[in-house]
Amino acid sequence: MPVGCARFWTRLLPPEATQPRRYAFLLVPGYSQLGFACALEALSLANLHPSGQVFYTWRVIGETGDPVPAYNGITTAVDAALPDLDRTETLVVCAGNRAAEGSSKPILNWLRRETRKGMDFGALSSGTYTLALAGLLAGKTVTTHWEYRDALIELLPDVIIENSLYSKDGRIFTTAGGAASMDMMLDRIKSDYGIDLATWVADQMVYTDPRAASHGQRLSRRARPDMAHGKLGMALQIMENNLEDPLRPDEIADLIELSTRQLERLFAKHLGMSPKRHYLQLRLEKARGLLRQTSLSVTDICVACGFRSLSHFSKSYRGTFGLSPGQEKRGTGSMWPAQP
């Protein structure tokens, strides 16, 4: 690379940015390899910047020092087993669909001890739950993968859970995981070293449109044809915000200044079903997630999803999914234990 080019890139960087930022990634068994790779690759690519500067260093941590399996069975070697961290390191907890099982007492105790040093720390995907089990998120605003969100809302009432790609609350950061880990890291690179380096890394990733924290997690919830109609979008949002205490169709229609018949026509045209049927479907989807991901009783889940009787809940659930709530729970098992 020509010397002049290196000097040009160096001039784009703040003069105080000389010491690498240090990261420590804790892998919880069953972690998402995609989320971990997206986060780590952003830091790795930053170090390939034409300036020749090393912007980041990192180490990978496990509970025992043995390679840690991801949910897909691939294992990753670690550099250390729950070591002492320096307060200048940024700690990232990486988890997946076995967060409860993998969040052992040694890991939770280690997290409590190390985070007391005052470092920045955060989580990818369900690593948010690991941090919550350690008692580190009380009163904080966080996010997690959409699939785990309802379960965490029920289990962790003292934690504010956003439906966003990533979230920042003081020195704590959390992300939905997957490709959102890349968006979060690009935002952190921008904060550390400026927009030019973050843009350069995004270009290296061929990631031409990095997303803001507030960006919704589910493309299907934003890109459906029905969302093109403003009134229908408002109705859907009202339904999703009121699953525990469902509103009547006429109440929803009043809130968006339509007649009940107009609301029914909108749903029939764009969704092929009545407002009542769609609302029921949303509540049953939430129930399915809670049955699969929590240790809540069927009765508690019935109430949390706005059903007035167990018999109505069971009949509706069986009619939609082909098995009873109890069979769903026994067949799938609980991903999350009751919060200690």
Q: What is the pLDDT of residue 275?
A: 93
* CA angle centred on 214, ends 213 and 215, rounded to 5°: 95
- Predicted confidence at residue 153, as pLDDT, reads 75
Question: So what's the pLDDT on residue 312?
Answer: 92
pLDDT of residue 28: 96
Residue holding tokens 């307060």?
87
Q: State residue 218's pLDDT score.
A: 53
The predicted-structure confidence for 114-150, as pLDDT tens digits, reads as follows 999 999 999 998 899 899 889 999 888 888 887 777 7
Which pLDDT score, from 0 to 100, does residue 212 have?
A: 60
Distance, CA of 139 to CA of 65 (rounded, Å): 33
Whether pTM exceeds 0.85: no
Give yes or no for a contact between 95 and 3, defined as CB atoms under 8 angstroms apart: no
Three-state SS at 131: helix
Characterize 250-274 residue by residue with b for buried, 16 or more Cβ atoms within 10 angstroms of its Cβ, and e for exposed: eebbeebebeeeebbebbeebbeee
- What is d(CA 75, CA 30) in angstroms, rounded to the nearest whole number? 10
For residue 206, the 8-state DSSP code is T
Please enumerate, as own/partner, the contacts of 318-327 that have beta carbons within 8 Å and a separation of 24 or more: 320/281, 320/284, 321/284, 321/288, 325/287, 325/291, 325/298, 325/301, 326/298
Task: Report the pLDDT value the prediction gives residue 194, as an integer from 0 to 100.
Answer: 93
Q: Is 61 left (phi over 0), alpha (psi -120 to 50) or beta?
A: beta
Question: What is the C-alpha to C-alpha distance for residues 299 and 308, in angstroms, rounded to an integer?
Answer: 10
Q: What are 77-119's pLDDT values in tens digits?
A: 999 999 999 999 999 999 987 787 889 999 999 999 999 999 9
Cα gap 43→8, rounded to integer Å: 21
Q: List 124's β-bridge partners, or say none.
A: 94, 175
Helix (H, G, I), strand (E, B) or coil at 18: coil
DSSP state of 171: T
Residues of the chain with pLDDT under 50: 1-11, 15-16, 219-223, 225-226, 228, 332-340
Q: Please report where in the chains the tokens 């907890």 appear, as a residue.
A: 93
